Amino acid sequence: AGAANGGDDESLADFVRRRLGREALERMAQPMIGGIYTADPERLSLRATMPRFLEMERTSRSLIRGMWRARRKQSAAEQRGTSGARYSLFLSFDEGMQVLSDRLAAVLSPGTIRLIAKVDSLGFDHTSERWGLRLSSGEVMECEGVCLALPADATAHLLRATDAQLSTELDAISYASTATINLAYRRADIPHPLDGFGFVVPLIERRRTLACTFSSVKFPGRAPRDYALLRAFVGGALQPEMFALDEEAIVAAVRDDLRALLGIEKPPLFSVVEKWPRSMAQYHLGHLERVGRIEQRLRAFPTLKLAGNAYSGAGIPDCIRSGERAADEMLATLSTMQS
């Protein structure tokens, strides 16, 4: 198939069908996207989520050839490296993800962070060019600048009185809800060799689990010797009814899938369900254009910055880059205003 018009926003599903065929979409792309974005590939913007594939199509005319070239470049770079260290594709902290936020809090000056301080309203005074925050406690704070690292709908709520059009654009960013289910087993109770990091499940198989990570295989220190920890994912844009179930029903559904896919008959030693409502931003068709309109509206408020997973990347590295960019821009703006 020929390359798509570079000015058009194409769904990931249409792109994969056009380049690789229907089976590749159903068996590879859809479950992968389900595992990463918990999204519907028919609505997902390729330019916003997988722009590298578009670049491969433009420069190599063949996705397979483009992936081979990328792999050769990566191998050559590894061979040129002076360090003997090699890193897994998957990284985490030995003591869990909370290490990241704990470390950030530890390096800040005492009193910098105020926890459990809900902001009820936010307003901008055009005369003083300062922001006013009203907390649920009734306290009012004045600020030179504000960075909102919130879900888009919460940001929209706070900015509705300041800029209704900006609020409308933010409200149009959709979210999906997901739940994670951690299940602990004796290793002897799992007949499957767990010879991998986990699996994703194509929607056409009509199961209720989106994906499952073999946490104790993927990362060290997640389970004692002779035990295993599995983490399953349910819900998302294509199976919202799973998120709505109670915890007992979710665990039962996941256990049914693990019985069929991994042969696990015995119950887990324990299970923990964590629900994450409206947690996964959905980069639907037109997302980049919407982000462009949001940025255009923000130009009227140089001391207002937005950060988070709703705009230019959903992963932790993307969110870190988003936060650093917002901080750098804020510091530059305030420095210019004070000089």
**pLDDT by residue (tens digit) across 60-115?**
767 666 666 666 766 665 555 544 444 456 778 888 889 999 999 999 998 888 98
Would 7 be classed as within a structural domain?
no
Same domain, 130 and 223: no
Same domain, 260 and 277: yes
Share of the chain above pLDDT 90, in %: 76
Would 79 be classed as within a structural domain?
no
Q: What is the pLDDT of residue 96?
A: 83
Would 218 be classed as within a structural domain?
yes
Same domain, 205 and 275: yes
> pLDDT tens digits, residue range 130-152?
999 999 999 999 999 999 999 99
User: Which of 282, 297, 319 corresponds to the end of one domain?
Assistant: 282
- CATH number of the structural domain spanning residue 294: 3.50.50.60
Same domain, 188 and 262: yes
Which residue in this structure is represented by tokens 């609505």? Answer: 43
Cα(166)–Cα(154) distance, rounded to whole angstroms?
Answer: 12
Would 6 be classed as within a structural domain?
no
**Number of domains present in the structure of the chain:** 3
Cα(105)–Cα(36) distance, rounded to whole angstroms?
Answer: 28
Same domain, 182 and 249: yes
The continuous run of DSSP H or E covering 74 comes out as helix 63-80
Would 86 be classed as within a structural domain?
no
Q: What is the mean pLDDT of residues 169-182?
A: 98
Same domain, 200 and 273: yes
Same domain, 180 and 278: yes
Q: Is the pLDDT of residue 305 over 80?
A: yes
Same domain, 127 and 270: no
Q: What is the mean pLDDT of the chain?
A: 90
Cα(180)–Cα(275) distance, rounded to whole angstroms?
Answer: 7
Identity of the highest mean pLDDT range in 28-32, 36-40, 291-295: 291-295
Q: What is the mean pLDDT of residues 244-269?
A: 98
Choice between 196 and 76, residue whose per-residue pLDDT is larger: 196
Which residue in this structure is represented by tokens 């030693």? Answer: 269
Would 5 be classed as within a structural domain?
no
Same domain, 249 and 263: yes
- CATH number of the structural domain spanning residue 217: 3.90.660.20
Q: Between the CA of residue 119 and those of 114, 132, 145, 226, what are the distances in Å?
A: 11, 10, 15, 47
Q: What is the pLDDT of residue 55?
A: 84
Same domain, 200 and 263: yes
Cα(157)–Cα(135) distance, rounded to whole angstroms?
Answer: 14
User: Which of 282, 299, 324 corresponds to the end of one domain?
Assistant: 282
Would 82 be classed as within a structural domain?
no
- CATH number of the structural domain spanning residue 61: 1.10.3110.10
Paired strand residues for 179: 234, 275
Domain range for 227 is 174-282
Among 6-15, 79-88, 240-249, 312-321, which is the least confidently predicted range? 79-88
Would 4 be classed as within a structural domain?
no
